[in-house]
Structure 1
């Protein structure tokens, strides 16, 4: 069975899976401009911090390849690219992968070798530097996800002395986990971050069962994560967000629930983590019940310039996401008709609504942060130290302090 792909790209063409139509329909939108990418990201047809950065970067690569830039000098070309990237940055401000990708792309075009070239050749060199850098973001993401899966699985195996039935031990020892939101192939270029760890556990014969929350109000867990788990034939159960405490209390010992594994939209210097709303309450529940709480975050999600979670800008979304819901129509016989959708009210439309897209989990509730360069745990002082996974940036910050 082919792997799920949220993003399909070849030079000059970008297709993005419309995740609002899942799990009932696979439809790819062609994204050929920055405006189309902005709308795709803002409307959450694509979501997940890595995927957002990839779509933004590649959409501008496509429009550059197709001749959107009319600048004639190197300076004008760089200014044009900068303005488009600054525009795309506003599509989802909380996800640091996007801003990090934009910083990388701006550096790439300034590093283009244009000395001694006439203006037309210099312009082409800058455009090619951008397109190559954007494509490299896509290529590196899959490698990153596979490494996160391996590091996270290895850390849990060590923590719980896990072993598969194929190992040399006489008895297998497996673990059950809970995940929140969607952090798999649909949120990345493939494999996933938090869900990537779960996939690796399953592949290695170390996973007993996976639980996923529905993740209100946008239901990324029920619509997307449950779909991916079924697609991958991973033993799994869907629960509502409010059932996690009961799950830990009633079934932790019986089901060997040992970890909550989540992704991240931003991890700041002290380890405070912004992730999908509902993550913080899971961390509190996990600590109370003695369950490990793990954040899976590529180094592109680490924001070492921001000191604590108090300084993270939390995006608020429209009230209708809480008071209305859209879905495919279920026929009287129980079949789903993907050709028909309905939008229905699920609350009094006059009620006031608070709808933050993310919350911040303080570092003291996090047991480990898994990156593609290794697993980071807190030191004796109770703080995270990212000097081993991001040595140059960490050293620069320490020097400034």
Structure 2
């Protein structure tokens, strides 16, 4: 196979300068990149910069090198087209099939996966016209990444910020890794809710009961779902990982907070994946001041109460018929036997069972598991990247959705 060919479209928004970082990541990871900016984009980053960073000529016009028919050839030869930033104007033109410059012509001729990374003010993103254009593009199979929430131009803050270029790159990498399947955004039109990380139950202002979950498996599930076209809500408990591009991230701390966030987000979800390590117990009493060690007397025992069983609640009180519930079971012994018992007890559709312990699963970039189905199926997933396990989970979920 030759070098993967990527077209990086850049439209005229202030976030255009961030596309330089995306370009660097694409070229340094072995992709051939042709940058196709709009005229407006060149007001923010000049032609010389794009040409120097990509090593390829840059043009905005269909009239340059006419003998090469660039408005057709560029899209035809691409393995991926990514537009970052994608302004409201660019999204509108793409949705309506307008072709008044080289980038919009390229979008019409591309037969490869297309990823849009929008960036604009909140009011523009939320406008019904923009939302209809986004829905149209998604319905046609394009991946439109949800913008991030944060500081915008000037003093404004809200949803509309370009996601971190490193995370946009991860979406591109996942789409390219799927090869021809990248065209099949099989989660398009679906809303998935994923929990990740580990809850912490405070004892006092300093200490808490917690676990060693890093959130990496849940984040891998979020990234792969975005790359497959889903609208993703990620409920993250105490992680220090970068927000996956395209996911709406809700941050929580305790099991009770996680329950509230997941149940609310799951109201219209097609799939809910409980990958977070949720504490089974919490202290019965919270000490307003730091608990002091007293040398002259024995410390009283720590009284615990049960936390709500979020997975079982989701499975028994589904918000609508056909909603799919996926759980995770971290076991240290009798892994499959304990997993089968938990699957029956919780009532979920799929249960991902893996062995945990020192240097196993928690904090690692790799994982291995067996996915148990309520229909009696068992799907082993060999040791490998957590994204591979995530894709296998989505394959099994999609088969049950359809």
Q: Structures share a fold, TM > 0.5?
A: no
Q: Determine which structure has the larger helix proportion and give its number.
A: 1
Q: Determine which structure has the larger strand proportion and give its number.
A: 2
Higher relative contact order, structure no. (Cα contacts within 8 Å, ≥ 6 residues apart): 1
Larger Rg: 2
